[in-house]
Amino acid sequence: MTKQPLGIGILSFAHMHAYAYADVLKQLPNVRIQAVADTDEERGRKAQAQYGGDFCVDYQRLLQREDIDAVIVCSENARHAEMVLAAAEAGKHVLCEKPIATTVNDAQRMIDACEQHQVTLQIAFPVRFSTPLCRLKQTVEEGRLGRIVAIRGTNHGQNPGGWFVDPVLSGGGAVMDHTVHVVDIMRWLSESEVREVYAEVDTRFYDIETDDCGLLMLEFENGVFASHDPSWSRPRAYPTWGDVTLEVIGTGGVTQVDALAQHLDVYSDRDGGYQHAFFGDSMDAALILDFVDCVQTGRMPSISGVDGLRALEVALAAYESAQSGRPVRLR
């Protein structure tokens, strides 16, 4: 008997990562993009023309279709909760773009609903699948760095503009956008939870309503100290969207990792000057393959809703700390 392809629906192309995910899905022989839903009809119809399937403005209509097994939510951050809750009630497995939500309460409701309806909830933290970061995780697990003492992380990117700088839709600026990625990696490496957060948050690069830079100091329950430097400080001329770097200090050694280091610097008069030629493995492809495998095999997701919640807690604590001028205790 021929195995039916996994039917996928994409709820919104508001987040640019939706295009990367759809590019991967389109190449998988055992997966089919059945439908696209987007309140921005022009954007949605363009995506449908590019990736196939049907189009509808109302995502609730998409969720009613029996040929859709799972959905990928790439809407504005503030709409994640309503879409995931509706998907869970409809019995659809979910890959949700980060951050999981804009409030802790919404994140917990999403986790509870997916558990109640017995559907997968995976959070889109593709950096976990970066080859350099996977090698770092292996190095830590093998004990080659000894006991981790401290971690320093950065995530500097370009200002995405649009709804990302609308605090109602985004829930925060660069600190919200970039903290969750790196904190998730720090939790993954240290196998511990953040206990306390102190942060400075500001708007220095753009005339916008949200923050565009910050600096976080973190204390983990197992004694690890960490710093994180998130910002939208990269200019438009920068060859990539940004960076993700980590320096891990252990009792047995120190290592530095750049998640985007697998590239060549190409200088050519013929091709318009400088090119950043990436040759490494695709984090997005590995994330999508992992999600598809979770749905098809029924195994637990590699990156759970709780992982998304814990990362969100740290980002929100950073804003609270910056406003009060004091450290915020999480647990």
pLDDT of residue 3: 66
Kindly list the domain boundaries of the chain, sorted by start residue. 6-119, 128-281+312-329
> What is the value of pTM for the model shown?
0.94
> 35 exposed, middle or buried (CB, 10 Å; 0-12, 13-18, 19+)?
buried
* Residue with the two structure tokens 């921005």: 40
Homologous superfamily of 128-281+312-329 in CATH?
Dihydrodipicolinate Reductase; domain 2 (3.30.360.10)
Residue 73 CA to chain centroid, in angstroms?
A: 11
For 261, half-sphere exposure in the C-beta direction (CA atoms, 13 angstrom radius) is 9
- The dihedrals phi and psi of 320, each to the nearest 5 degrees, come to -65, -40
Q: For residue 214, what are the CA distances in angstroms to 89, 103, 157, 185, 235?
A: 38, 20, 12, 18, 17
pLDDT of residue 239: 74
Class of CATH domain 6-119: alpha beta
The whole-angstrom separation of Cα 51 and Cα 41 is: 15
pLDDT by residue for the chain (331 residues), tens digit each? 346 889 999 999 999 999 999 999 999 999 999 999 999 999 999 999 999 999 999 999 999 999 999 999 999 999 999 999 999 999 999 999 999 999 999 999 999 999 999 999 999 999 999 999 999 999 999 999 999 999 999 999 999 999 999 999 999 999 999 999 999 999 999 999 999 999 999 999 999 999 999 999 999 999 999 999 999 999 988 777 778 999 999 999 999 999 887 767 777 777 667 776 776 788 999 999 999 999 999 999 999 999 999 999 999 999 999 999 999 999 8
pLDDT of residue 265: 76
pLDDT of residue 331: 84
Edge-to-edge order in the sheet of strand 70-73: 54-56, 31-37, 6-11, 70-73, 93-97, 121-124
Radius of gyration of the chain (CA): 20
CATH topology identical between 6-119 and 128-281+312-329: no
pLDDT of residue 274: 75
